Chain A
Amino acid sequence: MSKQYLTLHTVDQAHPTEIFSLAPTPTTLISASGSSHLLIHSTTTSPTFPLVQTLSNAHRLGCHHVTTARGLGSPGNTFVSVGFGGETKVWRCDPEQSESDKWSLYWTLPTPANKKEKGDVWAVALSADEGYLAATTSDGRIHVWDLEAQQKVQTYETGASAGGGGGGQESNGGVVGSGSFAMAVDLSRDGKFTASGHENGGVYVFNNDAGRMVYSLSGLAKPIRAVAFSPGCKRLAAAGNAGIIAIYDMQHGEHVANLSATGARPAWITSIDWNDTGEYLLSGSLDGKVRVWDVARGVCVATHSETESALWCVRWLPKSEKALAPGMGKGEMFVAAGANRSLTFYREATGS
């Protein structure tokens, strides 16, 4: 049984240049592009998804990652953005403010003073309670920050002598060899695990309580661009240049399934996202196609593409309580964005 999704609306040319990342909150969508502004569009007030706030000159060289906390209980008050210059900014929402001023800068992460610890921040992920931020670097480290205390609490290493090290309050770097560029990171919604995906095809899972690596997952030899824990925290999905999505079970660290499209050489996958029920995975790739996968059955149930231009990010929108407009169903929505600079919103055809 395939699912039907319709293009609900496209915010054309939302950004002046390519859109690299998206992050949804319960009421808005935050988008980042090669230009220096971050845009916030409303996702619950109108089917035209109007722009409600612009954060000007947030990142001078452009921004490549934005992230919010996922999960039904998340407050939706925080997001984190990372610019091409490596600057990492934490933004908070003040519900008291008017719509166009809600979000403001809360904190900018300090850049490492120690030269040995350099390695620009690349990917970021927020814990479900918005208390912790995981940030990866180009030399394969994953730093975990406590956002309230504004302090680094943990550093996971994935270099040559890693896999056991990295525990304790403070990392005194310099011991470990440089790891492979960590291009993707995710925190499980129950706070238990951190996962990272690397340029050399490595996928590592760390136990946050114990503070050490628990799984080193194999199966994808090509660079990993996206990793995502399922909402129930039982599975981890990883995808990248291999063009297939690998699913791992978190109880034993086993590679349990592969999701792949037909065709000899599938395009590089840039982004994956689980829906809130954990039944469906969304994937976006460089050939412009966004796919919905039924994970249990292991098949692709819908494929859409607006253009052939690359997609950099795809995200499910949190299920809303009420319909977007009178007469519209409450079907699940997702959004895709990329080289065509537009935000394209899709909705499941069968409403309820």
Chain B
Amino acid sequence: MYFCPIRNQFLHRPSQPTTSNAHGQLSPPLRQPGPSSVRAGSSRLPRNIVFIPQSQSNDDVLAKIETLFETIVDAVSVGGPIIIPYRRSTNEQAFNPTASVPNPRDGRHMDTVRFPGRNPQELRRFEALFRIIELSHEALLSGTLITKRNIYYQNMELFRSQSVVDEMVDNLAFTLGVGRGDLNIVATAKGLIAGQVKLMMRGGICINCAESSDSGVLLPSISAVDRIDFQSVKWLLATFRTLSASLYHTVSRAGSGILVTGKGYPDLATRKFLATVHSVRPRLPMFALVDFDPHGISILRTYQYGSQRLDHEERTKVPRLRWLGIRSSDVLSHTVITQDLSANSQDSQSSQDLSSQESIAYSVDTFQDERPVKRPRTRRTKSHAGDCTSPLSDGDREKAVSVLRNICTTARIDTAGREHKLELQRMLMLNVKAEIQAVDEFGDITNWLDERLLSHSR
């Protein structure tokens, strides 16, 4: 029991966040999980099921918010100005501690928000921030999760846009030194997952990611996942756009795998999921497949190194994520299967050519019982660089230079960074970009993926 100054009453400690079951009611939370272990410590669980470790800082957040409220109450009671500390996670490097002289026109660069404000913008900011703190407090007390979208719709006039809410929530988390999830604020799920894995959720629900028929199931927040049954998964591939509905993870020659689709720049939940999978299964090869363009490389780097805005969040990076493609070498010397036997024989075979001229493909619809169908004998010839590329736009070039600058201003560029730098420079020199479709064969990327995944696991 403790005293809450806002509600002016004594309250119980809150419970762990839960997800509601299909009937919209809250299920009682499960017992606290045991210490995390890659292989189940007890002999009860088979090897392919792992516990997901949870962060324990929930109580801290509540205490911090409560302290904040206390100072507000104190300030009100003495009639002084109310000051809420508020730092921007994106300003961290640019923050100049010597700039103590307040700019009368614009209070944005200060690290506090005051009431009464210095200008009308600050007043609005104070109200918005206060509202968010209030909502988070309620969510923490009742043990529910609230989405950023929900917050916005509480008072659209006050917040004006969703991005204002998004930024404020992250900055609040950063100021308090916690993750967004610790405030019990989440984003609507965006990422998708497909593969031969089962996610056992805290409420008792089990999500089977293999059952979906098209692009996968919505990726839940990792904080709501209790255990993952990896079955016999051999690889994980993160793409930023859905691969065509080919159930690749079931027909891959590299074995059964997991496909995670980030749908553009991956959101926090997707990144946390991947980072957590890597931490509980460090030996599972994880790959990323993006377009050959500046945004593709930027997305790749977001998976690997995170973003500055969310740098304060825990466990969001997968530095050892491997870049499957698309690279300049894929675009410039991709071999295409054609029926034309009179093709130019001067061009030498590319080094990625498979030795056999045939490839065996499984029919997608009924892969279990069908006999393997052989593809017709064909000849592989080099496709020309001009076929599958398009020129960079001005915005693309600017983005490429900006990512290059990002890479080059880190203190020490690692191997992956050097690779990204080279590919960006090549992109600018050639002035081309290419999509993932550049390496497929009439819409089917299966062979290319097989080749790449197999060569990486050797």
- Interface residues, chain A, with chain B CB atoms under 8 Å away: 17-18, 20, 34, 36, 60-62, 64, 84-86, 119-120, 138-139, 178, 181, 183, 199, 222-223, 241, 262-265, 267-268, 270, 286, 308, 310, 312
Answer yes or no: B233 CB below 8 A from chain A CBs. no
Q: Which of B82-90, B127-135, B243-251, B401-409 has 4 or more CB atoms under 8 Å from chain A?
A: B401-409
CA A303 to CA B429, docked complex, whole Å: 24
Q: Which of B106-114, B284-292, B420-428 has 4 or more CB atoms under 8 Å from chain A?
A: B420-428
Say whether A286 contacts B431, CB under 8 Å: no
> Which residues of chain A come closer than 8 Å to B386, judged between CB atoms?
222, 241, 268
CA A262 to CA B343, docked complex, whole Å: 13
CA A323 to CA B134, docked complex, whole Å: 84
Question: Which of A34, A36, A139, A199 is within 8 Å of B431, CB to CB?
Answer: A199
Say whether A62 contacts B431, CB under 8 Å: no
CA A174 to CA B397, docked complex, whole Å: 21
> Interface majority SS on A: helix, strand, loop or mixed?
loop
Considering the complex, give the chain B residue whose CB is closest to the CB of A181. Answer: B431
CA A138 to CA B396, docked complex, whole Å: 11
Interface residues of B in 405-458 (CB under 8 A from A): 405, 408-409, 418, 421-422, 425-426, 428-431
CA A343 to CA B429, docked complex, whole Å: 19
Considering the complex, give the chain B residue whose CB is closest to the CB of A36. Answer: B408
Total A-B contacts with CB atoms under 8 angstroms apart: 69
Q: Contacts A62-B425, A241-B386; is A199 near B391 (CB within 8 Å)?
A: yes
Question: Which of A61, A138, A222 is within 8 Å of B397, CB to CB?
Answer: A138
Answer yes or no: B68 CB below 8 A from chain A CBs. no
Interface residues of B in 325-344 (CB under 8 A from A): 332, 343-344
Cβ contacts A to B, 23 pairs, < 8 Å:
A17-B418, A17-B422, A18-B425, A20-B425, A60-B405, A60-B408, A60-B409, A61-B405, A61-B408, A62-B421, A64-B425, A64-B429, A85-B401, A85-B405, A120-B401, A199-B391, A199-B431, A222-B386, A223-B391, A241-B385, A263-B346, A265-B344, A267-B385
Considering the complex, give the chain A residue whose CB is closest to the CB of B400. Answer: A84
> Which residues of chain B come closer than 8 Å to A86, judged between CB atoms?
401
Answer yes or no: B348 CB below 8 A from chain A CBs. yes
Min CB distance A182 to B, Å, is 11
> Which residues of chain B come closer than 8 Å to A308, judged between CB atoms?
348
Say whether B428 contacts A18, CB under 8 Å: no
CA A277 to CA B5, docked complex, whole Å: 90
Min CB distance B33 to A, Å, is 47
New A-B contacts (18) at CB < 8 Å, excluding given A60-B405, A84-B428, A270-B429: A18-B425, A18-B426, A20-B425, A34-B421, A34-B422, A61-B401, A62-B404, A62-B421, A64-B428, A85-B405, A86-B401, A183-B431, A222-B386, A265-B344, A268-B385, A268-B386, A286-B385, A308-B348
Answer yes or no: B394 CB below 8 A from chain A CBs. yes
Considering the complex, give the chain B residue whose CB is closest to the CB of A286. Answer: B332
CA A61 to CA B405, docked complex, whole Å: 6
Q: Contacts A62-B425, A199-B391; is A265 near B332 (CB within 8 Å)?
A: no
> Which residues of chain B come closer than 8 Å to A262, judged between CB atoms?
346
> Which residues of chain A come closer than 8 Å to B428, judged between CB atoms?
64, 84
> Which of A84, A85, A223, A308 gathers most chain B CB within 10 Å?
A84
Min CB distance A222 to B, Å, is 7
Considering the complex, give the chain B residue whose CB is closest to the CB of A138. Answer: B397
Considering the complex, give the chain B residue whose CB is closest to the CB of A270. Answer: B429
Q: What 7 A-B pairs have minimum CB-CB distances, sorted nearest first?
A: A265-B384, A34-B425, A61-B404, A264-B344, A60-B408, A61-B408, A62-B425
Question: Which of B332, B347, B404 is within 8 Å of A310, CB to CB?
Answer: B332
Min CB distance B420 to A, Å, is 11
CA A188 to CA B234, docked complex, whole Å: 61
Min CB distance A198 to B, Å, is 11
> Which residues of chain B come closer than 8 Å to A17, judged between CB atoms?
418, 421-422, 425
> Which residues of chain A come closer than 8 Å to B384, judged between CB atoms?
265
Min CB distance A46 to B, Å, is 31
CA A286 to CA B346, docked complex, whole Å: 15
> Which residues of chain A come closer than 8 Å to B344, judged between CB atoms?
263-265
Question: Which of B394, B409, B418 is within 8 Å of A139, CB to CB?
Answer: B394
Min CB distance A108 to B, Å, is 17
CA A62 to CA B429, docked complex, whole Å: 12
CA A312 to CA B429, docked complex, whole Å: 9
CA A178 to CA B394, docked complex, whole Å: 10
> Which residues of chain B come closer than 8 Å to A310, judged between CB atoms?
332
Say whether B391 contacts A120, CB under 8 Å: no
> Which residues of chain A come closer than 8 Å to B347, judged between CB atoms?
263
Min CB distance B250 to A, Å, is 37
> Which residues of chain A come closer than 8 Å to B430, judged between CB atoms?
268
CA A139 to CA B395, docked complex, whole Å: 12
Say whether A223 contacts B421, CB under 8 Å: no
Min CB distance A256 to B, Å, is 26
> Which residues of chain B come closer than 8 Å to A20, judged between CB atoms?
425, 429
> Which residues of chain B come closer than 8 Å to A178, judged between CB atoms?
394
Say whether B397 contacts A120, CB under 8 Å: yes
CA A228 to CA B457, docked complex, whole Å: 48
> Which residues of chain B come closer than 8 Å to A18, judged between CB atoms?
422, 425-426
> Which residues of chain A come closer than 8 Å to B394, judged between CB atoms?
119, 138-139, 178
Interface residues of B in 29-85 (CB under 8 A from A): none
